[in-house]
Structure formats: structure tokens, C-alpha cells
Amino acid sequence: MNPSVTVIGCDGRPLGPDAAAALAAARTVIGAPRHLKDAPVPDDAERVELRHLGQALDTVAAHPGPVTVLASGDPGFFGIVRALRARGITPRVIPAVSSVALAFARIGLDWDDALVLSTHGRDRQQALAAALAHPKAAILTAPGTARDLSRQLQAAGKTVYVAECLGTPQERVAEASAREPADPNVLIVLDEIVLDEQAPGERRWLAGHQGAPDGWALPEDAFAHRDSMITKAEIRALALARLAPAPGRTVWDVGAGSGSVAVECARFGAHVIAVESDLAQCERIRDNAGRHQVRPRIVHGRAPEALRTLPPADAVFVGGGDRAVLQAAVQHASPQRVVVTLAAVTRVGETAALLTALGYRAGGVQLQASRLTPLPGDQFRLAAENPVFVLWGQR
């Protein structure tokens, strides 16, 4: 059976005329206790209190007659509409203002360039990684998770606002503190630059993340580097393809050198941790990150020791280091993808074998690029780059 379902969004303001008329005519009203309490549910209507989405869906699907569902904000945005449609129900939707729109409005900030993330029923690490990498984000928090998330984001230098109980008398919007905020709440996570009124962001045509960066596998001169110690563009192209950096993914760049791989992964929206033992190189990574307007976390330390306290990663790039470094990186990060670049022929077999032994499908290629280089008279010659082995593993 496909019951007739009307979903009314609630944002704390009085219902608009369409929603008020739909609710006045309702015979069965399903919703969270707070929505049932606050909305003008007719006295003679049956009220069904819901606390979980799964339970809500079962109740809606099992109900013989038309039902009205009260939901928060815009029910088509991280709300019940998708789940209803997945059960073959096409509801009539009367939306209210989303909590995300309200939260940004309360701090007077535009948000077409924001990422919107949810930790409901999902791995929190993903939302955390995405918010760490992007200058402006909103997080729809699962109950009881806001304080811990805020703490981690603030520790990384983010400004975090908590918007609690929007549209209710308990509403509170303030910078995150040590207190556990009341649920429900939305976190607004910002880089300093976003709050700088002298630096208004660019006008956008595409909301949220902008997709692939404007060019990648950038030439070496797009990065400050020392003695040509930089992963060459052709090698970086394949490494990036195999690492698959993206918003919500964490990538370690172990032995990061100039940070060219780290910076490029961050340009794809990944949260990047660059590990480098040389302090001058760490400074160079910071400069290169600034030049490309990304914020990798830079860890000054020597692998494998420096890897022990890092959060897990989705992908690991090992551009420098021996067998022990690769083994430790894989064991600590537990990544889906690993990429290793090697100049030494003798290490190729043992590295491929190690990746296989660690549970990866191993592959690899030797790349040797010859670049077109101008000669006088509109002619070109081929200038050979050193051959490099690129090995990878995928789980």
C-alpha cells in the first residue's frame, strides 16, 4: 500500500497557511515529541511519537489511512523525504527553513560556499575530515556528539559556533565552549579568513565544494622546493589518481618534502596530514599550502615514530622512507589505498610483496617521461626525466 503522506517542516515559527490547513485536516500525526508538543495538532487526531527514523518509516508505511508527518526544517534536506521515497512513498512536502540556513542566518553569514555535513548514522571521521579541509562548513550533529567534534575542530585552529535548539525559547548561538550543547544543534565551522569582512569570498555559481581543482598535476614551479626534491608532475598525476583524494577523505603524505602531493590532495578537498622530518621542509610545505590556499596539517617528525598518534587515513602516500616506514604507515592508518614512489630498482619487488602481504591488491608501473623542450627555430627536443617506479595497493 502507498499511503497518502504529507510531511510538514517545523522551524519554530507559526505554520504557514498550507501547512496549517494540512495539519488541521490531519487524522493521524506522526512526529518527534518536541514537534507534536509545539505544533497545533487537532485534539481529535491520533498522535504517534517517534524517536527513530526507522520506526517513523515503519509506522508511516503500516498506517492504513492518510498520515501527516512533522519533521524538522526542510524535510527534503537530510530529512525524511529520501527515506520515504526509498519505501515507494512520494509525499506532499511543505518545507520550513532548514536548521542550516537558520544557523548561518543567526551569525549573519552567507553559505552558498559552505559544505553541509551530517554525522547521523555515519562515521564521524568523514564529516570531521571534510570540515577540517574546507573553509566553511555546517555539521548536522547526531545527539551527544557536538562537544567532541567542536573540541577536535578548535584544536585544529577552526572557529566553531554551536546553534542549539533553533526556533525554540531555548535557542542559543555562541562559540563552542567546554559545555556539552543541548540537542538538537548545528555546528558552523569556519577558517579565520571567512570572518574577515575585508576578504569577502568569490561569487559562486556552484554551491558547496567546487569539485576537481582548476588544474592538477601542477608543474614543479608551482611549488617552492629544494634541489629538485619534488615529486615530478607526471608521477604526481598517477599518484593522485591512485590516492583518490576527495572531501571527507583523510590522506597522509609521509616524507612530504616540498608537500606537492599533500597540497594537491588538499586541493581536491581531502584532509591531508603531511609528515616531514626536516624543519625547513615543513616551512616550505606551509608556504606551498598558503600559495595554493589549502590547510594541510603539518607534522614535524620522523616516521615511523611520528605516525603513531595520527588519526586513521583513507589513503597513504609514501614518497620517502624505507620498508619499516611503509609497514608502520599502513598498520597505523589502515588505509584503503596506498601509493609508494621508488627510485631504487632493488626495492620494487619487496615493496610489491609487502603490499600483498598487508592485504592489498598490488600494482605498479615504471614511468619515464621525456618532456618536450624548446630548441631554437620552433623545434623541440625530448628531455628525459629520471625513471620512477609507482607502486600502489588497494583493499
Ligand X SMILES: C[S@@+](CC[C@H](N)C(=O)[O-])C[C@H]1O[C@@H](n2cnc3c(N)ncnc32)[C@H](O)[C@@H]1O
Residues that bind ligand X (CB under 6 A): 72-75, 77-79, 98-99, 120, 140-141, 163, 165-167, 184-186
CB of 99 to ligand X, least distance (A): 3
Residue (7 or 272) nearer to ligand X, CB: 7
> In 3D, which of 48, 51, 86 has the Cα closest to residue 67?
48
- Measured between alpha carbons, how far is 158 from 160 in angstroms, rounded to an integer? 6
Residue (169 or 200) nearer to ligand X, CB: 169
CB of 271 to ligand X, least distance (A): 21
Residue (27 or 92) nearer to ligand X, CB: 92
Question: Measured at CB, which residue is nearest to ligand X?
Answer: 73
CB of 323 to ligand X, least distance (A): 45
All residues at 6 or more sequence positions from 23 whose CB lies less than 8 Å from its CB, including other chains:
8, 15, 29, 39, 40, 41, 42, 68, 70
Residue (140 or 265) nearer to ligand X, CB: 140
Residue (128 or 140) nearer to ligand X, CB: 140
- Measured between alpha carbons, how far is 60 from 86 in angstroms, rounded to an integer? 13
- Measured between alpha carbons, how far is 77 from 304 in angstroms, rounded to an integer? 43
CB of 72 to ligand X, least distance (A): 4
> In 3D, which of 253, 260, 254, 299 has the Cα closest to residue 279?
299
CB of 108 to ligand X, least distance (A): 17
CB of 156 to ligand X, least distance (A): 21
Say if residues 92 and 115 touch (Cβ distance below 8 Å).
no
Residue (74 or 264) nearer to ligand X, CB: 74
CB of 349 to ligand X, least distance (A): 51
Q: What burial letters (b/e) apply to 333-348, b meaning 16+ CB within 10 Å?
A: bebbbbbbbbeeeebe
Residue (16 or 42) nearer to ligand X, CB: 16
Amino acid present at 359:
G
Instruction: Name the 3-class secondary structure at 347.
Output: helix
CA distances from 356 to 322, 337, 363 (A): 17, 12, 9
